[in-house]
Amino acid sequence: MFMSQLSVCFFTVGQVVHTLPEGEPVFGVTSLAGEIFLLRPKENDEVEVYDVITYCLLRCLTVPDLRSCADIASCEHFKCVYICDFVSECVHRLDVQATAYTRWTTKDRPTSLSVNVSHNVVVTCRVARKIKEFSSHGDLLRELTLPDDVINPLHTIQTRDNEFVVCHGDIGDAVHRVCKISADGRHIVHSHGGQPGSGQDQYNVPFHLAVDDNEFVFVADFRNRRVRLLSPTLGHVLDIVSRDQLKWDPLRLYLDAQRRRLYVADNEWHQAEGRHTSGRVVVFNV
């Protein structure tokens, strides 16, 4: 529950309101124009579309030439969704009203996506340690290399004042944290985390982010099986989703700020096979 006056917000632990069906792993979730879009790694019908009120499956969309799906993001302004393709090193753009399709190259392997207040696409390139900003039609607007100690950046969201919230740290890395980085990409302004672990100020693979209108930050703490809530200066507030509320591990987040719904892609990791084998989306009222 949110109260927002004089920049003061009060939060309670998220309450489950619905769970979308189990199936193939969910590698992204977003919403647009009263519909929920789920991205699953299939040969066809990779995008499942559900009604945002009834949660009924409405239709499925096939993305041409999609080789590997890594994340999905939506843009209300252009009425489209974007999907990043790790193998093909590109972003696919799908106009959901006219079902028009285009794609553009990122020239580095994209890991995740977000859309900023200028309606541009922010692409995180994990291996290259870069943030790239593209127009809706694929024009490269700028490219930033992250500070040397930001290893394995997994997701980036640009704030209204043009700073960047970045989560980074994979298995085996010495540092797992969430950082707020200056607009030029050179300096860390705030950070939360450090050595990997399960304590209040620790993460174990902070995988994905969501940011609300007051710049509070939601963090999918993957291996700790929880979603953390941080203040705008990245101070710990509470665990808004606990491991008891999830069946598996939180891989992706999407916040519908208008409806106060947090969508958590909850995926099963099969250690012997070295891959995600099942997934679902749990919808929380926050």
Where residue 242 falls among pLDDT bands split at 50, 70, 90? very high
Please provide the CATH number assigned to the domain covering 146-267. 2.120.10.30
Contacts (Cβ under 8 Å, ≥6 apart) of 76: 32, 33
Distance CA 261, CA 15 (A): 10
Question: pLDDT tens digits for 189-219?
Answer: 999 999 999 999 999 999 999 999 999 999 9
Distance CA 136, CA 120 (A): 6
Provide the 10 A C-beta neighbour count for residue 27.
25
Beta strands in 33-152 (DSSP E): 35-39, 47-51, 57-61, 69-75, 80-85, 90-95, 101-105, 112-115, 121-125, 130-134, 140-145
Domain boundaries, the chain: 146-267
- With a threshold of 0.85, does the pTM exceed it? yes
Distance CA 3, CA 175 (A): 34
Question: pLDDT tens digits for 74-123?
Answer: 999 999 999 999 999 999 999 987 678 999 999 999 999 999 999 999 99
Please name the residue that has the structure tokens 């972003």: 91
With a cut of 90, say whether residue 278 has pLDDT above it.
Answer: yes
